[in-house]
A and B are shown apart, each in its own frame.
Chain A
C-alpha cells in the first residue's frame, strides 16, 4: 500500500470532500456541489460513493460493499478490493461487522447501529431532473421550495396506473424542507432511512454530495387518499424462507421457471442456517 496515499485520493481532495460532507450534514437533503475527481473506474460504477468512502475511511474501519444487496457482484468485489489495497482496511461481508458500508441501490435488511456509516452510490442526485432538465431551474425550485411538479408526476402515475407506480428512487421530503432522491433504492427501503447510522450520498459524474444525519425525518411523498406503500414481491425467499425481506426474481431454467430470493445476500446466508427465525 506504499504506492498509494491512504485511501487513494490526495489529502487536498479529501479535505474538499470532507467539507462538502459537513455542509451536507448541516443542511440535510441539500445537494452540495463538489469537485469530483476521475477515479480508476468508469462513471456509473460508483465513483461518487468511492470518493465519499475514501474521505470517510480510517485505518481502523471494517468496510463492506453491496451491489443491490449482494456482496459478490463484480462491482462490489472490485470496490472492496480497491480499498483493501489502497487503504489497507479490513473488509467483511457481514453487515453487523462493518463500520462503513458502501451500497448501490439497497439498504441492508439488518438494522444499522449508530457506529455505522452508510455510503450510497447515486447516479442522478436531482429528483426533479427528469421533470425539469435545466439545473438553473431545478436549483431555483429547491430554493423556492417549489415541488408542485413532483406531486403532479405522482398524480399522473395514479391517473395512468391507478396507483403510484414509482417503485424505486421514490422521492422523499427531508425534515419538511428539501425533496431528495434516495438513490435508486426500492421504495421498500424508504421507511428504513430514519436510522441510527449516518447516511452519505455521493454522485461522481453529477458532482454532488448530500447527507442525512441519524434520525432525520424522511417522509416519502404521497397523497391522503393514495398513501405511500413500501411494497415488495408477495412471496417468501426460496432459500431462507424469510417473508419480510426485499426479494429478487430469478429465472432458474430454460422453461422460464422463476424463484424469489432475498436481495440481501448476507442476510439470506445468515438466516438460511436458521430458517425458523427468519420466517417469523
Chain B
C-alpha cells in the first residue's frame, strides 16, 4: 500500500466536513456561482475540490464510479481507505467522477424515478477552467441570470428539460467548484 493512499484526508473530519459542505451547498443552491473548496488532497489527476467533495458526501452508503483517467489504482485505493464507498459501474452509481470528455457519453446514469426524483446520480465533472463567462443560466438560486463556462450546451439543456428527473452536475477545477442542478435553465451565450 502506498503512503499516498493513506494521506490527504481531512485533518478534522467533523469540522472540515461541515465547512466543506457549506461550500458545496452554496454551489448547488446558487448554480453558476464559483466557490472554493479545500480540505483534502486526493491523488492526481483528481482535483482538490472533487476530492474534498468526495470525503464530505461519500461513505459506505454511496456507490461511486470513477471513469476514464480518474480510474487509477491510486484513486480507487484513496477512496476506499478514506470513505469505504463501494466502487461500481456508472449506471449504478450515486456519484460519478470524471473529466467531461469521459463522462459526457455515459448512458444509463441514474436520472431518478417519477415518484423519487432524488434517486439520481450527481456527476462531478473535472474541467480545465471554470469562469463566469459563457452560457447563460437562469432558474432557482439565480436572482436574474449568471454566465458560466459550460463545456457544452445541448446535453445540459436536455437534462434540465427532463426536470424533475435528471442529473445534477458539479464542476470542479483545482479548488474551484460550481453547481449545475437539473433545475437550472441554460441558454446559449449572447
What residues of chain B lie closer than 8 Å to A151, measured between beta carbons?
A: none
Chain B, residue nearest A214 (CB): B141
Does A275 make an interface contact (CB < 8 A)?
no
Q: Which listed residue, B15, B62, B122, B163, touches A6 by the CB 8 Å rule?
A: B15
Q: Which listed residue, B60, B61, B140, touches A175 by the CB 8 Å rule?
A: B140
Q: How many residues of A contact B (CB 8 A)?
A: 46
CA distance A28 to B58 in the complex (A): 22
Chain A, residue nearest B114 (CB): A143
**Interface readout for B113-148 with A: 1 if CB under 8 Å, 0 if not?**
011111010100000000000000001111100000
Does A22 make an interface contact (CB < 8 A)?
yes
- A219 → chain B closest CB, angstroms: 13
- B6 → chain A closest CB, angstroms: 19
Contact across chains for A30 and B17 when beta carbons are under 8 A apart: no
Q: Which listed residue, B25, B59, B116, touches A15 by the CB 8 Å rule?
A: B59
What residues of chain B lie closer than 8 Å to A6, measured between beta carbons?
A: 14-15, 18
| Total A-B pairs, Cβ < 8 A | 120
What residues of chain B lie closer than 8 Å to A274, measured between beta carbons?
A: none
Contact across chains for B163 and A177 when beta carbons are under 8 A apart: yes
Q: How many residues of B contact A (CB 8 A)?
A: 41
- A229 → chain B closest CB, angstroms: 25
Contact across chains for B122 and A22 when beta carbons are under 8 A apart: yes
CA distance A191 to B58 in the complex (A): 37
Contact across chains for A22 and B140 when beta carbons are under 8 A apart: no
Q: Which listed residue, A26, A144, A215, touches B142 by the CB 8 Å rule?
A: A215
8 closest A-B pairs by beta carbon, nearest first, are: A213-B141, A26-B181, A6-B14, A23-B118, A143-B114, A216-B140, A213-B29, A213-B140
Jot down 10 A-B pairs with beta carbons below 8 A, ordered by A. Answer: A6-B15, A7-B14, A11-B14, A15-B58, A15-B61, A19-B94, A27-B164, A30-B164, A60-B19, A175-B139
Q: Give the interface of B toward A (CB within 8 A).
A: 13-15, 17-19, 21-22, 24-26, 28-31, 56-62, 94, 114-118, 120, 122, 139-143, 163-164, 168, 181-183
Q: Give the interface of A toward B (CB within 8 A).
A: 5-7, 11-12, 14-16, 18-28, 30, 32-33, 55-60, 114, 139-140, 142-144, 175, 177-178, 196, 198, 211-217
